[in-house]
């Protein structure tokens, strides 16, 4: 108890300290608004629609065409986005072309900018720690990508901690180099982390703050100039964050921010020819970009993420709660969401499934613990359910019905958290495998079980999958863990009794494995891998040996 009270006191002091800095910076315009903000999260409505602008060459701009978004909870038009079309990309092309291949800074050029970004990160972290600011972004996320307050706040918290991590000298430490002795006096080889220069970042709707901020700041730390495109459905969150970063000292010319459809963004990439593009989103678009951009991409694409429950049955209530969170938090709209659960036969005889069912059924639209699905319609999810239930031995465990008493527009999906059981033998049949492992970006999961001697069949099912993002091996049996981990590849794998599939905190790598194009996020290793390349400089000063003569040709 004393420890909890002490932690609260420390947080309170940190918040007070941040508030002092915030107030002394003269950033409050009134008790009702934040000066970096151009909207009030709770006030956005059909009668008071918000506007989202573009940023290019250091200036905020509108557009000849405005795309009107509807509120995902009631269908009311509530946000106008200045979307750039194919005729309006030239300023963005020109802006990227002004950035040389050696970047805005590197270890030999403008090194003071490493310190600048350490200061920007420190100030932005302080601001996001303020309850008024964190609540603003949490509420804004909820307005465009409806999820519970706790889930939305989690994004803000992770972003704030990430910025804390890269405050002060931590940015320049990302560019740490090394030296290797040469063959003779005066010769040394030095390895440096080098920026790409002009780059592009494309991020999805489901994490409107966390993914774009972490990737954007990583790109900037290493000396690149990015153009950033966030899914227009949620881009208002990042537009407001860009304004906050400007208040914290981000040079306005360092980042361009564009709203457009996919076709226009593809045209921009082809004409601007960025040296590297980071894409987070669907596998289909990722593969197209890899071809169009001749492989100059880093990808964090879709994941049909699996969880295996080992032979040791313990803490059933806890494991059931984690399964519910993994599968259904954010209405399943996480690239790390639990898509399939493999239960050892020992778990099949426990109360696990009934407990998961009870937890899933307590989710409700009122507190957004279940809500609109922004990329899959209700009809599409119910049709997928229907096809799965035609497989021999399959059965609906729970859910499988539309949400009731709501005003979610028909362009979005709205179903109850759903689980379908399919026998392992049926999953592995070629006629069924692709259907069963189709990713449904909603509150939808497959559950199956396996006998002790069927673990090789489970591993075979995992080997056939094409996306290897997250996974969980729930067991405290070290031999079992060793066997499964040694024969799988997912880039972010949790192991142990408390293992989960979801969760991308700032303290560990998050990203796929098994693909040389795979991108990471969150850690120094991720930033260096994605946003810099290796450059070797070999110094050879001499002296030339006394009496040296020109040797024969070789």
Q: Which positions are annotated as active-site residues? A: 300, 335
Q: How far is CA 413 from CA 364, 406, 440, 460, in A?
A: 15, 11, 11, 32
**CB 423 within 8 Å of CB 393:** yes
Report helix, strand or coil for 494: strand
Supply the DSSP string of 457-489, one letter for each residue. Answer: HHHHHHHH-S---EEEEE---HHHHHHHHHT--
Q: H/E/C letters for each residue in 335-359?
A: CCCEEEEEEEHHHHCCCHHHHHHHH
Q: How far is CA 287 from CA 273, 282, 292, 293, 503, in A?
A: 17, 9, 9, 10, 25
In degrees, to the nearest 5, what angle opens at C-alpha 146 toward C-alphas 437 and 385?
30
Those residues with Cβ within 8 angstroms of residue 340's Cβ, 6 or more apart along the chain or in another chain? 304, 305, 306, 307, 436, 437, 445, 446, 447, 448
Distance CA 141, CA 146 (A): 7
Angle 474-335-221 from CA coordinates, rounded to 5°: 110
Q: 259, 266, 220: which is closest to 237 by C-alpha?
A: 259
Three-class SS of residue 257? strand
Question: What is the helix (H) or strand (E) element at residue 297, kind and residue range?
Answer: strand 297-300
């Amino acid at each position: 108890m004393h420890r909890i009270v002490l932690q609260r006191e420390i947080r309170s002091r940190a918040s007070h300290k941040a508030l002092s800095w915030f107030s002394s910076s003269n950033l409050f315009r009134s008790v009702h608004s934040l000066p970096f903000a151009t909207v009030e999260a709770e006030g956005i409505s059909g009668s008071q629609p918000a506007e989202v602008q573009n940023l290019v060459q250091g200036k905020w701009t509108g557009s000849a065409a405005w795309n009107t978004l509807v509120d995902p909870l009631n269908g009311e038009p509530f946000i106008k986005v200045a979307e750039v079309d194919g005729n309006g990309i030239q300023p963005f092309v020109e802006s990227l072309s002004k950035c040389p291949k050696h970047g805005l800074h590197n270890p030999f050029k403008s090194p003071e900018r490493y310190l600048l970004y350490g200061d920007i990160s420190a100030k932005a972290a302080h601001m996001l720690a303020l309850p008024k600011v964190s609540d603003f972004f949490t509420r804004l996320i909820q307005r465009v990508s409806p999820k519970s307050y706790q889930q939305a706040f989690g994004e803000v918290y992770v972003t704030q901690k990430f910025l804390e991590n890269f405050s002060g000298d931590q940015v320049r430490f990302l560019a740490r180099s090394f030296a290797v002795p040469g063959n003779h006096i005066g010769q040394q080889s030095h390895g440096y982390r080098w920026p790409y220069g002009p780059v592009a970042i494309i991020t999805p709707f489901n994490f409107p703050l966390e993914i774009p901020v972490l990737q954007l700041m990583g790109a900037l730390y290493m000396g690149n100039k990015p153009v950033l495109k966030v899914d227009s459905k949620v881009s208002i969150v990042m537009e407001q964050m860009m304004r906050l970063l400007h208040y914290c000292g981000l040079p306005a010319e360092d980042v361009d921010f564009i709203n457009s459809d996919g076709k226009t963004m593809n045209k921009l990439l082809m004409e601007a020819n960025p040296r590297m593009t980071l894409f987070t989103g669907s596998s289909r678009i990722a593969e197209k970009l890899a071809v169009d951009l001749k492989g100059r991409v880093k990808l964090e694409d879709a994941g049909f993420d699996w969880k295996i429950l080992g032979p040791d049955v313990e803490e059933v209530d806890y494991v059931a709660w984690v399964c519910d969170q993994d599968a259904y938090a954010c209405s399943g709209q996480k690239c790390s969401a639990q898509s399939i659960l493999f239960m050892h036969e020992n778990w099949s005889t426990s109360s696990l499934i009934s407990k998961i069912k009870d937890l899933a059924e307590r989710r409700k639209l009122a507190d957004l613990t279940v809500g609109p699905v922004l990329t899959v319609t209700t009809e599409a999810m119910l049709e997928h359910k229907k096809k799965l239930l035609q497989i021999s031995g399959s059965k609906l465990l729970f859910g499988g019905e539309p949400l009731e008493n709501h005003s979610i527009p028909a362009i979005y999906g709205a179903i109850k958290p759903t689980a379908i059981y399919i026998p392992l033998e049926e999953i592995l049949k070629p006629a069924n495998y692709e259907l069963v492992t189709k990713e449904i970006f909603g509150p939808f999961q497959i559950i199956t079980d396996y006998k002790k001697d069927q673990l090789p069949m489970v591993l075979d099912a995992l080997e056939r999958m094409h996306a290897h993002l997250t996974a969980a091996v729930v067991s405290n049996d070290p031999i079992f863990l060793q066997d499964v981990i040694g024969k799988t590849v997912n880039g972010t794998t949790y192991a142990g009794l408390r293992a989960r599939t979801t969760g991308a905190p700032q303290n560990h790598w998050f990203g796929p494995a098994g693909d040389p194009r795979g991108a990471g996020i969150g850690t120094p290793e991720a930033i260096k891998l994605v946003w810099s390349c290796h450059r070797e400089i070999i110094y050879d000063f001499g002296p030339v040996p006394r009496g040296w003569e020109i040797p024969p040709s070789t």
